[in-house]
Amino acid sequence: MKIVCSKSELLKGLNIASKAVPNKTTMDTLECIIFDCNEGMIKLIANDMDLGIETIIPGTIYEKGVIAIDSSIIINIVRSFPDSDITIDCDYDYKTVISCENSMFNIVAKNTDSFTYLPKYEKSNPIIISKITLKDAIRKTIFSINEKDSNKVMSGELFEITGNNLRVVALDGHRISINNIKLNALYEDKSIIIPGRTLNELTKIIDNEEGDLFIYICDKHIIFEYDDTTVVSRLIEGKYFDINKMLTDNYDTKITINKKSLIDSINRGLLLINDGNKKPIIMKVNEENIEIGLNSPLGSLNDVIDISREGINQIIGFNPKFMVDALRVIDDEEINIYLMNAKSPAFIRDEENTYIYLVLPVNFNSI
């Protein structure tokens, strides 16, 4: 095999494919990126059996072939080169020369006999969505998954399609994050659970340029296709929680508050918290303002923020990190927080329910 391509395109492709290379494995081939140049295209492929990525990069193929190169080695070599064309030349014994201008590496590649390619499926009726829209929806929910919980469904996100609406849901037992997306067409109702790792890696490789992404849902896999990249992931089997039972439009108090002011106040409270003294942030809702308080062995915080309030006064406590995680992904300058009582969850949502964040309260001593 012999190919030539630019450093920038090769490095971009390697960085995309490497997201499917596992951190730890006993199989050498899984640590590799495959160069498949047998079909007139330079395909870079990685697959750890749960997540597989294939991306096509531009370049010139002088000799066809398929080889496997250790992911970290090839990426570090390419990064070390100047910004110029790179040649990868491999003989029949897998002795490989990687050169750029006056620099040359000699390494030994591997054969691909034990490598498993991405599964092939008949793809039809794709769900079409903007790359940026999907990336944004994942970013605004993914922090609520629980990868360490024994209940595997909590390590993934629910993608629920109803008509022309895609609802993306994540929860960890203490909070729920929901993002609703209006699609441009009607689709068959579907409900699947996608691993959080897959979605995290997807957000890293999707660029911020406009363009469509195609989603194909198969029996046990989901396929994401955009530009020259294909991502295939296993789905999480199991039944997701009944989210509708956890949501309510009822409230006793509605607070409208400046998001930045609230984030800044809670962040000040976080300065007084460490791993050994996890203290709640206390919110005392008055008619025209909200008092933010926190007491810890390191000190105390007292802030007052102006608000617009409907309903009754309340005092309620929250895990400050959970509250900040939700607030920081909301784009609105003014947000609405809905409260029932000190033992019921708070809801942060907009009028259209584009986003909904549920945060469970924590016990506290009244301030």
Q: 247-359 in CATH: which number?
A: 3.10.150.10
At the top level of CATH, the class of 127-245 is alpha beta
Question: Residue 45's pLDDT is what?
Answer: 97
pLDDT at position 366 is 43
Do 65 and 37 contact (CB within 8 A), yes or no?
Answer: yes
Taking CB atoms within 8 Å and a gap of at least 24, the contacts of 84-90 are 84/6, 84/7, 85/4, 85/5, 85/6, 85/7, 86/4, 86/5, 86/6, 86/7, 86/10, 87/2, 87/3, 87/4, 88/1, 88/2, 88/3, 88/4, 88/35, 89/1, 89/2, 90/1, 90/2, 90/65
What fold does the segment set 2-108 form as a domain? Answer: DNA Polymerase III; Chain A, domain 2 (3.10.150)
Which element (helix H / strand E) includes 71?
Answer: helix 71-80
Give the Cα separation of 333 and 307 in Å (integer): 13
Do 61 and 90 meet the contact criterion of CB atoms below 8 Å apart? no
pLDDT number for residue 156: 97
Alpha-carbon distances of 127 from 160, 183, 206, 215, 224, rounded to whole Å: 12, 8, 17, 5, 10
How far is residue 133 CA from its own chain's centroid?
13
Tell me what pLDDT residue 225 has.
97
Asked if the domains at 2-108 and 127-245 fall in one CATH topology, the answer is: yes
pLDDT of residue 298: 87
> Burial level of 241, CB count in 10 A (0-12/13-18/19+)?
middle
Nearest Cα residue to 225 out of 235, 211, 216, 214: 214
Burial of 344 (C-beta count, 10 Å sphere; 0-12/13-18/19+): middle
Q: What is the pLDDT of residue 318?
A: 95
Phi and psi (nearest 5°) for 22? -70, 155
| pLDDT value of residue 123 | 83
Angle, helices 131-139/196-205, rounded to nearest 10 degrees: 130
Alpha-carbon Rg for the chain in angstroms: 25
Q: What are the 10-residue block averages of pLDDT along the chain, 367 residues in total? A: 98 97 79 94 95 97 96 97 98 95 96 87 90 97 90 95 97 96 96 97 94 94 96 96 94 98 96 82 96 92 96 96 96 97 96 97 70
Rounded CA-CA distance 153/193 in Å is 7
Q: Where are the domains of the chain?
A: 2-108, 127-245, 247-359
Q: Give me the pLDDT at residue 363, please.
A: 84
